[in-house]
Amino acid sequence: MERDEARLEKNRISGIEIADEGRGKKKIEVRPIIPLVILSLITAALLAGILILTKFFYNKPETLTQSPANPNAPFDEVARGTDNLKSDNVHIVRGRESYARGYLADAITEFNEIVESAASDRDKAIALTYLGMISDDKGDYDKAIDYYTRAQTYDNKNPDIFKNLSLAYRHKKDFDKALESAQKSSSLKSDDAGSKKLMGDIYFEKGMYDEAISQYQGILDKTPENPAVLYNMGSALMAKGDEFAAMEYFKKAGAVDRIGEVAHRAYSRLGTIYIERKNYEEARKYLKEAASIRPNDAVNRYNLGIAYLKLGKREEAMEELSRAEQLGEKNAALLEKIGEEYLNLKNYDKSLDIYGRIRKNNERNVKILSQIAKIYYEKGELDKAFDAYRQITAIEPATENARVAYLNMGNILDDAQRFDEAVEAYEKALAISPKDHAVFLNIGIAYKHAGKPELAIKAWKQAAQLAPDDPKPLTAIADYYYERGYFDLAEMEYQRIIGRWPNIQEPHFKMGTIYYKRGNYEYAMNAYKKVIDIDPNSDQARKALINRGVLISKTGTGEESMEASISLIRKALLMKPEDPQALLALGIIYMKKERYDSAMDTFYQVIKGSNDSKLIADAYNNIGKCYFKKREYKKALQAFTRGVDEDPGNEEIRMNRKVATQEYEKELGRD
């Protein structure tokens, strides 16, 4: 990143996102970044030009991850129906005890003994139901259904047989049969809330939210403090889009359950909802509640870290992210999210450490390699970034991921001023996708940097043909002409852009600058007004306000025009308080109207608020002029000297210092 211009213009590393088939699917995104234009009014006012810089941004991933894996699922705490599966038969008693303790082999032996004996039909039905439950627990749903069906032949009036049969069908995702069995169980035992909740949960999973809500409400009418049902009611309302009502049910569920799993899930859910609503203080409150119930929930810790980040509490955020990292050390997806957050926080070492650990289990993970490359790029370690992208092209040659990698390799080579090699990398990207207009756009930039404008313009024209709805290639051509001072050609290109995309601010702004340079101030004013009309709250509009203020000051006369120009600058300052460039323009207006004390106060604000040595030098230069006009030559000389110290190459300030020195010496001679 040796050159500032190259770094700004080519800092466009693109991320890779793995699709299901393993191919990247993230597209390159080009966005303009417009540096501030300073309009200076001295004796002959000059309007600084603007260059639209092209930049690739890595799209930040979603920072919100909810817990558990499927937070929208109903809370499934329907206990297996066993109340009606009791018997004095010794084998059933022993089988039930073995099942409860997890001694499944012993339980199976006891229950098979019943089935193969001359036991009563009811006892055989109980034994077969337990054998079905064991098979269901093992994930053998068909075998479980077979046991339950056999149990019905011995006893078709036992609600627990149908409830467990419903659960097996539900686990098998056969929701219609699951619902039929749950309804049968409920009809046999109408006061069983478990069967009604099961019906509600099945309706929920079928997407029949109104029916689910009806079942849940029926339970809550009789037992209003059932935490699981309160939670599921909230989930169903969320699915219907009634977020406010859902949140109230989650709050009730948490308050009723207090320290159980329902409360944990309810508070976790509330925390993520509040993050989405940008109410980060409430999010923090509920996520902390969830953490107090289940301190080792890594995902909840991660979300709490995000809430702290949004609240600007970096130290607390880092603590929570570190805990999430420790707790979720085997959760690759979570670690990847944490790595992204460390990257967003510019904590490159921690991010690299996490990505390195993920790669130990999958060295061919090109998405992680892309993130590693991006980190090295941002750190300025271009060789390492380049090598990471090169590895991607070796792992997945001739794929979309390789195309993105070649594109980024070209960007890095261009940053390193290795323009011919950059073009070669871009051409490899084109070999994979010959009609990629973004690559042609980048090739054009590389040719421009290499001093080959004809090839640059040719590449941009190809990009424009491939993407006729994208204004960026035409803008690149117009900007090139503008930078080189070919204003007639630039105007023609900008007018073409405005004709097709009238609501893009930048071409109007550039046209205002061109009109100003030609002395056509009225047209310049109209162009800047158009910028403001398109989006009055944008940064581009703020710059246009400054420029209009300076123009009014330059062309107007009297106190009224001065107040109008000052009003525009102050409006710009409301949008970006203490902006040094706006303050410089305001100071120049004061100075032009001979309000030297106000001007100097403003220029000192520029010095206080800026780190730009050239801008500071301009401020000192103008302070010196104010003192000179007030005939305070010693102070003028001191100001000019400070200006030269800030910008030794500024000949104007040197000349001003020389004149001030002469006047000061004359003053001393008179004394």
Domain boundaries, the chain: 1-43+376-467, 258-362
How far is CA 378 from each of CA 11, 344, 374, rounded to the nearest angstrom? 9, 11, 6
The whole-number pLDDT of residue 72 equals 64
- DSSP code of residue 612: -
User: Does this chain's domain 1-43+376-467 share its CATH topology with 258-362?
Assistant: yes
Reported as a pLDDT band with limits 50, 70 and 90, residue 662 is: very high
Reported as a pLDDT band with limits 50, 70 and 90, residue 192 is: confident
Q: pLDDT higher for 666 or 67?
A: 666
- Could you tell me the fold of the domain covering 1-43+376-467? 1.25.40
- The residues that bridge with 47 in the sheet, in sequence order, are 39
Q: pLDDT higher for 48 or 182?
A: 182
Region 576-580 average pLDDT: 92
Reported as a pLDDT band with limits 50, 70 and 90, residue 79 is: low
Tell whether the model's pLDDT for residue 55 goes beyond 80.
Answer: no
Q: Give 342-352 pLDDT, tens digit per residue.
A: 998 999 999 99
The whole-number pLDDT of residue 191 equals 84
- DSSP code of residue 18: B
What is the Cβ-side half-sphere exposure of residue 538, based on CA atoms within 13 angstroms? 19
Region 247-257 average pLDDT: 97
Q: Give 109-136 pLDDT, tens digit per residue.
A: 999 999 999 999 999 999 999 999 999 9
Q: Round the average pLDDT of the chain to a whole number and report it.
A: 87
Q: Which helix (H) or strand (E) holds 157?
A: none
- pLDDT above 90 covers what percent of the chain? 82
Tell whether the model's pLDDT for residue 166 goes beyond 90.
Answer: yes
Q: Give 259-309 pLDDT, tens digit per residue.
A: 999 999 999 999 999 999 999 999 999 999 999 999 999 999 999 999 999
Of the ranges 12-21, 43-52, 179-188, 530-539, which one carries the lowest mean pLDDT score?
Answer: 43-52
d(CA 35, CA 236): 49
Tell whether the model's pLDDT for residue 567 goes beyond 70.
Answer: yes
The SS3 of residue 363 is coil
The whole-number pLDDT of residue 71 equals 58
Reported as a pLDDT band with limits 50, 70 and 90, residue 190 is: confident
Tell whether the model's pLDDT for residue 614 goes beyond 60.
Answer: yes
Contacts of 630 (CB under 8 A, 6+ apart): 596
**In degrees rounded to 5, what are phi and psi of residue 38?**
-105, 125
Q: Give 640-658 pLDDT, tens digit per residue.
A: 999 999 999 999 999 999 9
The whole-number pLDDT of residue 511 equals 96
E strand residue ranges, 22-129: 30-33, 39-40, 46-47, 53-56
Is the Cβ–Cβ distance between 56 and 516 less than 8 Å? no
Q: Give 327-339 pLDDT, tens digit per residue.
A: 999 999 999 999 9
- Could you tell me the fold of the domain covering 258-362? 1.25.40
Reported as a pLDDT band with limits 50, 70 and 90, residue 484 is: very high
Q: CA torsion sign, 138 to 143 to 146 to 150?
A: negative
